[in-house]
Amino acid sequence: MASSAVVLLVCTFMAMQAMAAAEAYYSGDDGVTMQMFEEWMAKFGKAYTCHGEKEHRFAVFRDNFYSSGVFPGPCGCGTGGEPKPNHAVTLVGYCQDGATGKKYWVAKNSWGKTWGQQGYILLEKDVASPHGTCGLAVSPFYPTA
């Protein structure tokens, strides 16, 4: 079984092969956001929720600590269980754990390499919530050029 660091490195490398600079964007507030992320990443390389920062948001969980594994949430929420994002990250890829079969998004944080897994967090993918893990589907954007 490969270590999570090796899996992260391989998945990140695969995702970076398709990276593109975002000169234009599309807002994905159409109800099919999570299904579209894979297609957007394959075509453009990244998915965003904050056009100004060109990064993808998630609500920072209470202690801000994450070191390994696939993070399932919760990350904090607003009323009725709806996420209330208060931080941005960039989704750079997605993978599936060969041992467990669990699917996850690879997200790059802005807090540097000393946080998480060398600056990345693995967020559970294909969850029941229409908002995605930690609000990943809240007001997303992806580059078109």
Model confidence over 59-95: pLDDT tens digits? 444 446 677 888 887 775 555 566 666 677 888 889 9
The CATH number of whichever domain residue 48 belongs to comes to 3.90.70.10
From residue 93, alpha-carbon distances to 36, 69, 84 in Å are 13, 15, 23
Q: What is the domain extent for residue 84?
A: 4-143
Read off φ and ψ for residue 55, nearest 5 degrees. Answer: -130, 165
Total structural domains in the chain? 1
Pick from 15, 13, 56, 16: which is nearest to 33 by CA? 56
> Is this structure's pTM higher than 0.85?
no
pLDDT at position 61, please?
A: 45
Quote the pLDDT of residue 67.
78
Chain centroid to Cα 103, Å, comes to: 12
Q: Residue 60 has which token pair?
A: 């920072």
Widest Cα–Cα separation across the chain: 41
SS3 state at 142: strand
Report the amino acid identity of residue 96.
Answer: Q
pLDDT in tens, 100-133: 899 999 999 888 888 888 989 999 999 888 888 8
Query: Closest Cα to residue 61, out of 20, 4, 115, 129?
Result: 115
